[in-house]
């Protein structure tokens, strides 16, 4: 098994089994130890692949999730309206994360307790940016950033709702996401009317 495959396997293992009562450093160490017998190799692997500890793990996990999400984009998907694409991508992303729900719930608690607000926003921005990119958004003006900041909030609320959702096939989360996007569209339409009124 090559280094990239080992890093992928370890990343998934850490997220899957994350325990907010145990230090992330120890969890990373224990997970890496499963793949190496020599302690010097363990340290070398951690220093190279996870130099910033749990932050490195989360960034890599996000990259892996983005790669999985990209595979869901097909010809049929491209025919959907933008709002439908965004809704579908959020739900597909959450379905990809379903296996890791318990670990992600514990990670949520850890991130809140650790006050990692700026890092959490960095991850959120990357998630929103990827969803807009896969939706086919090509705007380069001020809307480029405003769209992403709005979607960060939509995804954050949807993600936190999903963590508590026990409905069949994420039915409640689907309704929640669609309602969130509908509210954003209504707000967008209102803004446009106000802009036209004053122009």
pTM for the whole structure = 0.89
pLDDT tens for each residue of the chain, 199 residues long: 578 999 999 999 999 999 999 999 999 999 999 998 888 899 999 999 999 999 999 999 999 999 999 998 887 888 888 889 999 999 999 999 999 999 999 999 999 999 999 999 999 999 999 999 999 877 766 678 888 998 999 999 999 999 999 988 899 999 999 999 988 877 555 445 434 433 3
Domain that holds residue 99: 3-198
**Domains held by the chain: number:** 1
In 3D, which of 100, 2, 104, 107 has the Cα closest to residue 45? 2
> 35 and 3 in contact (C-beta within 8 Å)?
no
Question: For position 194, which CATH number holds?
Answer: 1.10.357.10
């Amino acid at each position: 098994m090559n280094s990239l495959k080992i890093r992928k396997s370890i990343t998934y293992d850490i997220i899957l089994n994350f325990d907010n009562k145990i230090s992330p450093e120890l969890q990373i160490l224990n997970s890496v130890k499963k793949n190496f017998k020599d302690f010097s190799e363990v340290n070398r692997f951690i220093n190279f692949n996870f130099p910033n500890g749990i932050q490195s793990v989360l960034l890599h996990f996000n990259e892996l999730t983005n790669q999985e999400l990209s595979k869901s984009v097909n010809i049929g998907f491209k025919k959907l309206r933008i709002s439908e694409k965004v809704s579908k991508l959020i739900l597909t992303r959450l379905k990809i994360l379903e296996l890791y729900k318990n670990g992600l719930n514990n990670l949520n608690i850890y991130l809140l307790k650790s006050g990692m607000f700026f890092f959490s926003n960095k991850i959120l921005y990357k998630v929103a940016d990827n969803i807009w990119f896969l939706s086919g958004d090509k705007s380069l003006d001020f809307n480029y950033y405003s769209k992403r900041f709005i979607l960060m909030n939509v995804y954050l609320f949807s993600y936190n709702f999903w963590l508590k959702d026990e409905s069949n096939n994420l039915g409640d989360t689907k309704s929640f996401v669609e309602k969130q996007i509908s509210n954003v569209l209504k707000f967008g339409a209102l803004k446009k009317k106000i802009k036209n009124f004053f122009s």
